[in-house]
Amino acid sequence: MTITPWWRGAVVYQVYPRSMMDANNDGIGDIPGIISKLDYIASLGVDAIWVSPFFKSPMKDFGYDISDYRDIDPIFGTLADFDELISKAHGRGIKIIIDQVLSHTSDQHAWFMESRESRTNPKSDWYVWADPQPDGNPPNNWLAIFGGSAWEWEPRRCQYYLHNFLKSQPDLNFHCDAVRKEILDEVEFWLKRGVDGLRLDAINFCFHDKELRSNPVKPEEERKGRGFSVDNPYAFQKHIYDNTRPENIAFLESLRALMDRYPGTVTLGEISADDSLKTMAEYTEGNSRLHMAYSFELLVDKLSGSYIRETVETLEKNLSEGWPCWSIGNHDVVRFMSRWGGKQQSPQLAKTLNALLLSLRGSVCSYQGEELGLTEAEIKQHELQDPYGITFWPRFKGRDGCRTPMPWSHTEAHAGFSRAHTWLPIPAAHKEQAVSLQDGDANSILNAYRKFMHWRKQQPCLRLGDIRFVSAAEDHLVFVRNLGGDALLCAFNFSASAQTILLDANYQLEATQGHGCYSVSMNGDNLAVPAYGALISRMV
C-alpha cells in the first residue's frame, strides 16, 4: 500500500511569533508564549504550525534579516525553548515547520561583515558584488521590492552589492559553491533538531543573472502587483534576470536530496514571480524538487469566484506530480475580511471563506487570527514598525495592520496578550472578537472553524481528492471534490443576498444537506443558497 505523506491535504497554521503570546511581558511574543497556546492551536484541529522567523536578527525586517542561522534571537527565547516547543507540539500530534530565509542575510551577519572588507578575503564572493558603470551608477536597472535601486554602494570594496529587499538584507551569491554548501549545512542544523519541514521564504530569489543584464519594461496593463503595491516601481519591470533563474532548479534538487535523508520532512516554497503559477508547477515537478509551493495568487484585493476558478484550474493544468498549497491571508497582506468582507464584515462570510479555503484541492496555510475573523488593524503613521509601510506611506500602509497581537481576552489589559505595552497596538474591534468571547459561543467564527476542521479530517475526498468546477461568477463558486467515487458538492455564496445557482447537471445530494453553515435547498439543477451561505454535501 502507498502511504500518503502527512502534508498532503494538511492544514498548516501560521504563527507570527511577535504576536502570538508574550510570556515574559516585554510586549513582544516569544517561543514560551507559543508553547503556552499549544492547547488552543491543537483545539483548531490543524496538522502543523509554521513558525515565522525567530532567529538572531537586528530586526530591520522583523526576523527576515538573519544574522545567525543557528541561534534564537533573545527576544524570542533560547534554543532550549525551541526544543521544548518541538517536543510539546509533537506530543499533541502537531508538526513544526520553520521559516528558512536562504536568499539573503542581514548586513550584520558575520559572513557579510567579512565579505565587504576586501575583494580577496575568504568570503569575498559569498555575496553579489559588482563594479559601477563608468559614470558611477549601479551596474543595471534592478529594483528592490522595498523601494529604490537593488544596489547599495560599499566604500570598503568600492563596489555595489545586491539587495532585493532592504539595503540591510544583502543577497547571497548562490553561484558560489561554498555558499550553496554552507546553506545546506544551516538547513540540516534544524533538521537534526527535529523540525518537520521548511517554509522557504522568497525561494525563487536565490540566483541572479551572472551577466547582470537589465530587466525589460513591463507594459502598464500587466502590472498586477502580486504581493506588492502596484504603486511600487518594482511592478514596472519584467523580473527575468534578478530572480527565478534556471540555475535555481539544481539547487532545489540538492535541497530535496537533503530533505529525503530525513523521512517525513517537507518543503513549502513561497513563490513571487512574474508567472507564479508556472513557477509553482516547475518547482514541484518530478518529485525531486519542492514538495509544495504557494504564491500570492489568492491574496488579491477583490473576491471573485471566477478568478479563484481560473487560478486553480490554471495551476491544475500545469501541475504534474506537484502539490499545491493555498492561502488567502498571511503576515504580508491585508487580512482577508478587510479585503473581501466589504463594509458589513459579516461573521457568516468569515465562516464561508474559511470553509472555501479548507475545501480547495491541496494543502492550506491558515494565518493566526483568521479563525477569529479578524479584520485589518488601522495603524497610525507614528505607530508604524514595518519599513515597507514607512517608505510608501500613505499610498501603501505596510504590513503592520495584519501583524497585531492576538486578542485572547476581552476583559484583560492588552487583550490578555501581555501585561506590558505591546509592540503594535491591539484595536478595540479585535477585543470584541477575542478568543474568550468566541470560545463559549457555539455559533462563533472560531467554533465554526473548529467544527469544520474536525469534520474535514474525516473526509478523504476533501483532503486528497481531485477538483472539478461546476459554476463560478463574481459572487459565487461551486465545485465537486471526488476521490474513488466518493464525491462532495461544494457551493459558496459570497453575496449579501440569497441566490439560486444554475448547475451543469441535476445533482442528487444527501438529504442531510451536508456540512453547511445554513440549510440549502436543491430543485433539479438549481441550488438555492442563502446570503453568505456555504454548502458541502455528499453526492448520491
Task: Give backbone dihedrals phi and psi of 443, rounded to 5 degrees, phi first.
Answer: -100, 10
Name the one residue in this structure whose C-alpha cell is 525553548: 81
Separation CA 419–CA 471 (nearest Å): 50
Separation CA 515–CA 449 (nearest Å): 12
Find all residues with CB under 8 Å of 403, minimum gap 6, and list them: 16, 18, 19, 62, 331, 386, 424
Find all residues with CB under 8 Å of 30, minimum gap 6, and list them: 17, 21, 22, 23, 24, 75, 76, 77, 81
Select from 288, 296, 246, 250 the least CA-distant residue to 267.
Answer: 288
Let me know how long the chain is. 540
The secondary structure of residue 502, as a DSSP letter, is E
Find all residues with CB under 8 Å of 397, minimum gap 6, and list them: 379, 384, 389
Name the one residue in this structure whose C-alpha cell is 526576523: 63
The secondary structure of residue 1, as a DSSP letter, is -
Q: What is the 3-state secondary structure (H, E, C) of 411-427?
A: CCHHHHCCCCCCCCCCC
Of 270, 316, 376, 400, which is the active-site residue? 270
CB-based burial of residue 460 (10 Å sphere; 0-12 exposed, 13-18 middle, 19+ buried)? middle
Q: What is the DSSP string of 82-102?
A: HHHHHHHHHHTT-EEEEEE--
Give bridge partners of residue 392 from the DSSP assignment.
none
Q: What angle do CA 458, 329, 72 make, to 5 degrees?
A: 95
Name the one residue in this structure whose C-alpha cell is 488579491: 300
The neighbour count for residue 415, using CB atoms within 10 Å, is 24
Is 231 one of the catalytic residues?
no
Give bridge partners of residue 199 from the DSSP assignment.
99, 268
Please, are residues 424 and 385 in contact by the beta-carbon 8 Å criterion?
Answer: yes
The neighbour count for residue 530, using CB atoms within 10 Å, is 18
Separation CA 300–CA 336 (nearest Å): 9
Select from 140, 181, 184, 180 the least CA-distant residue to 164.
Answer: 140
Is 270 one of the catalytic residues?
yes
Give me 19's grid cell: 504576536
Of 61, 65, 73, 201, which is the active-site residue? 201
Separation CA 272–CA 280 (nearest Å): 9
Separation CA 27–CA 117 (nearest Å): 37
Please, are residues 140 and 213 in contact by the beta-carbon 8 Å criterion?
Answer: yes
Give bridge partners of residue 56 from the DSSP assignment.
68
Catalytic residues: 201, 270
